[in-house]
Amino acid sequence: ALSASGPWVPVPDAEAGAHIAGATVQGPARAGSLLVVVTVKESHPAGLDRFLQALSTPTSPTYHHYLSAAQFDAEFGGPTSAYRGLTRFFQSYGVARMTTYADRLTLTFEATPAQLQQIFHVSIVRFRLGDQSYVAALGAPRLPASLAGSVAAVEGLSTYSALQIHP
């Protein structure tokens, strides 16, 4: 794994699971893998807001002047250096099936609970809620401060949502 200098800080976690009323911890999660989605902050969020406003304002000179996907990616995608840093960091833990995207706003990978515990400095545990069980992280995921500021959200550290869709 890549060594990270500096403190580890919490990153936004969009998953329910650890704080569900009535759920009880059953022990560590060991088997299987989870699909993790990391959302990266846009390069120029204020510029994107202005662009979208102008795009939909009839009196704007750029009204309905759409960008190509490549133009959008270049102008508003995630910062290239931050995206590469995050990609290398996750790959250094041996994650599987990493997928990166041209807009640099999302990356996905599969990892075991043991890998996720190392990557995000959290415990991944089994919970029981009624007659069903799921896994979730205890506490907020953490990343090195040098990477955390580029992350908008981490999803996939819990299987609780899937439990709600497919009880």
Whether residues 148 and 104 fall in one domain: yes
pLDDT of amino acid 56: 94
Domain that holds residue 86: 8-41+78-165
pLDDT of amino acid 150: 95
Whether residues 90 and 49 fall in one domain: no
In a domain, 21, yes or no: yes
**Phi, psi of 124, deg, nearest 5:** -105, 115
The domain boundary, picked from 31, 58, 77, lies at: 77
pLDDT of amino acid 17: 66
Whether residues 138 and 115 fall in one domain: yes
Whether residues 55 and 95 fall in one domain: no
pLDDT of amino acid 5: 62
Cα R_g (the chain), whole angstroms: 19
In a domain, 127, yes or no: yes
Provide the H-helix boundaries in the chain. Answer: 45-55, 69-76, 80-91, 113-120, 145-148, 160-165
**Residue numbers of the chain with a pLDDT score lower than 50:** none
In a domain, 2, yes or no: no
**Phi, psi of 82, deg, nearest 5:** -65, -40
In this prediction the pTM is 0.86
Whether residues 158 and 93 fall in one domain: yes
CB atoms closer than 10 angstroms to residue 33: 15
Q: Which amino acid is at 157?
A: L
pLDDT of amino acid 44: 82
Whether residues 61 and 135 fall in one domain: no
pLDDT of amino acid 161: 75
pLDDT of amino acid 164: 64
pLDDT of amino acid 14: 67
Region label for 97, one of left (φ > 0), alpha (ψ between -120 and 50) or beta (otherwise): left
pLDDT of amino acid 21: 85
pLDDT of amino acid 165: 56
Alpha-carbon distances, residue 93 vs 3, 5, 61, 98, 117 (angstroms): 11, 16, 48, 11, 11
pLDDT of amino acid 141: 94
**Phi, psi of 135, deg, nearest 5:** -115, 150
Whether residues 104 and 49 fall in one domain: no
- The total domain count for the chain is 2
Whether residues 57 and 37 fall in one domain: no
